[in-house]
Amino acid sequence: MGFFLETVFAGLMNGVLYALVALGFVLIFKASGVFNFAQGAMVLFAALAMARFAEWLPQWLGFQSVLLANVIAFMIAAALMLVFAWAVERLVLRHLVNQEGVTLLMATLGITFFIDGFGQTVFGSDIYSINLGLPKEPVFILESLFPGGLLINQDDLVTAVMAMAMVALLTLFFQKTGTGRALRAVADNHQAAQSVGIPLGRMWVIVWFIAGLTALVAGMIWGAKMGVQFALTFVALKALPVIILGGLTSVPGAIVAGLIIGVTEQLAEVYIGPLVGGGIQIWFAYVLAMVVLLFRPQGLFGEKIIDRV
């Protein structure tokens, strides 16, 4: 029982991060109809930027405080993501309006190559660390209830809270602010939004920037946990099954599906894995999503598609 709970907990901790990255995907897809494969590369790029600046700033400006360095580095990284968002809109999106989905998807893969190369050129391709001063050693709770107690990682808790805060902020932003409303309008209907004078271009910059922020936060968290390096790009692949499971256009879908996949893949690996030789985590989430789609082709929360003739 204790072990089961630990597994579920571990899954939830992953799930929160999946949800965060998936959110980035969904926002961009809703607002610009782009299926953004570059999300993973964005995670790496943002994390690299933060890690490196946090390392450089103290040398340049000659101060000690890690916290200060991290804060400024985060700001700079965020600024970079803004520039990136702007560049994407300027140089790519606006030239590809009303292209087919697959063309846009390929374009984002092109972007992926570019920023992979660019990031490594500017920031290097070694392993770098983001030091958030997270406590690494595990704590054991409820030892009275379970033999050996329940293993809880404080850093998991801290980072999960960060991620959830980010998610909450975004949701607020979308519900409460004018820009948020405008974005939702764009998502619902491009033409209509344009006709009431919402500047599509600027909206795209904003969503890509927001997606960039989610990438930065996710990258920061993962970077702090396992070091900032190229492999970060692969983690974001996990967001793909999440978004189709939740429904490409659904923010709550991304969050719920993130948690579902986080938990189920852990349980599957731990309980089913040993029966088939293990390592099934790499495909389980996808197969799960595929099976669900057989019954709900638009995902759990996506809008229903009706054929009209």
Partner 1 sequence: MRLRQLALSAALALAAAATALSTGLAMAQTPVQFFPSLTGRTGAVAPNATPFANGYADYMKLVNARGGINGVPTLVEECETAYATDRGVECYERLKGRHGGATVFQPLSTGITFALMPRLATDKIPMITSGYGRSDTADGSIFPWVFPLLGHYWIAGDVVLQHIANKAGGWANLRGKTVAVVYHDSPFGRELLPIVQRRAEMHGFQVLALPVPPPGVEQRAVWLQIRQQRPDFVVMQTWGVMTATAIRQAVATGFPRERMFGTWWSGAEPDLRDIGADARGYNAVMMQHGQARDSEVVRQILAQVHERGQGTGPRTEVGDVLYMRGVVGAMLAVEGVFRAQERFGRGRHVSGEQARWGYENLNITQARLDELGFAGVLRGPIVTSCRNHVGTALTRIHTWNGSGFDWSSDWLQADMNVITRMITASSESFARDNNVTRRTEAGC
Partner 2 sequence: MFYRENGQFQTSYQADQQIFPVRQDRLAILALIAFAFVGVPLLADEYLFRAILVPFLILALAAIGVNVLVGYCGQISLGSGAFMAVGAYMAYNVFIRVAEVPLIVALLAGGLCAMLAGIAFGIPSLRVKGLYLAVATLAAQFFFDWLFVRVPWFTNHSPAGTAEVSNLGMLGWSIDTPLDKYLFVLGFVVVFAWLAKNLVRGPIGREWMAIRDMDVAAAVIGIRPMYAKLTAFAVSSFIVGVAGALWAFIHLGSWEPLAFDINRSFQLLFIVIIGGLGSIVGCFFGAAFIVITPIALNQMLPWLGALAGVRISTAMVGHAELMIFGALIVWFLIKEPHGLARYWSLTRHKLRLWPFPH
Partner 3 sequence: MAPKKIGDVILDVRNISLRFGGVKALSDISFDVREHEIRAIIGPNGAGKSSMLNCINGVYKPQEGSITFRGQTFRHMNSRQVAQMGVARTFQNLALFKGMSVIDNLMTGRNLRIRSNLLLQALRWGPAEREEVEHREKVEHIIDFLEIQAYRKTPVGQLPYGLQKRVDLGRALAMEPQVLLLDEPMAGMNVEEKQDMCRFVLDVNDEFGTTIVLIEHDMSVVMDISDRVVVLDYGKKIGDGSADEVRANPDVIRAYLGTSH
Interface contacts to partner 2, rule CB under 8 A: 35, 91-92, 95-96, 99-103, 105-107, 109-118, 120-121, 125, 237, 240-241, 243-244, 248, 276-277, 279-280, 282-283, 286-287, 289-290, 293-294, 297-299, 305, 307, 309
**Residue 293, binding choice from partner 1, partner 3, partner 2, none, Cβ under 5 to 8 Å by partner class:** partner 2
Smaller CB separation from partner 1, 51 or 104: 51
d(CA 95, CA 14) in angstroms, rounded, equals 37
**Residue 70, binding choice from partner 3, partner 1, partner 2, none, Cβ under 5 to 8 Å by partner class:** none
The binding site for partner 3 (CB under 8 A) comprises 306-307, 309
Residue 164 structure tokens: 């959830």
Residue 290 structure tokens: 């595929």
**Residue 230, binding choice from partner 3, partner 2, partner 1, none, Cβ under 5 to 8 Å by partner class:** partner 1
**Residue 32, binding choice from partner 3, partner 2, partner 1, none, Cβ under 5 to 8 Å by partner class:** none
**Residue 241, binding choice from partner 2, partner 3, partner 1, none, Cβ under 5 to 8 Å by partner class:** partner 2
- The one among 238, 244, 255, 260 contacting partner 1 by CB under 8 A: 238
How many CB atoms lie under 10 A from the CB of residue 151? 16
How many CB atoms lie under 10 A from the CB of residue 128? 18
What are the C-alpha distances in Å from 233 to residues 142, 197, 277? 37, 37, 26
* Min CB(200)–partner 1 separation in Å: 36
Q: Does residue 151 touch partner 1 according to CB under 8 A?
A: yes
3-state secondary structure 183-245: HHHHHHCHHHHHHCCCCHHHHHHHHHHHHHHHHHHHHHHHHHHHCECCCHHHHHHHHHHHHHH
DSSP state of 131: -
215, HSE (Cβ side, Cα atoms, 13 Å): 39
**Residue 89, binding choice from partner 1, partner 2, partner 3, none, Cβ under 5 to 8 Å by partner class:** none
Question: Residue 11 in contact with residue 262, Cβ under 8 Å?
Answer: yes
What stretches of the chain adopt beta strand conformation (E)?
138-141, 150-153
List residues binding partner 1 (CB under 8 A): 3, 6-7, 10-11, 13-14, 116, 120, 125-127, 129, 136-138, 151, 153, 155-156, 222, 225-227, 229-232, 234-235, 238, 265-266, 269-270, 273-274, 277-279, 281-282
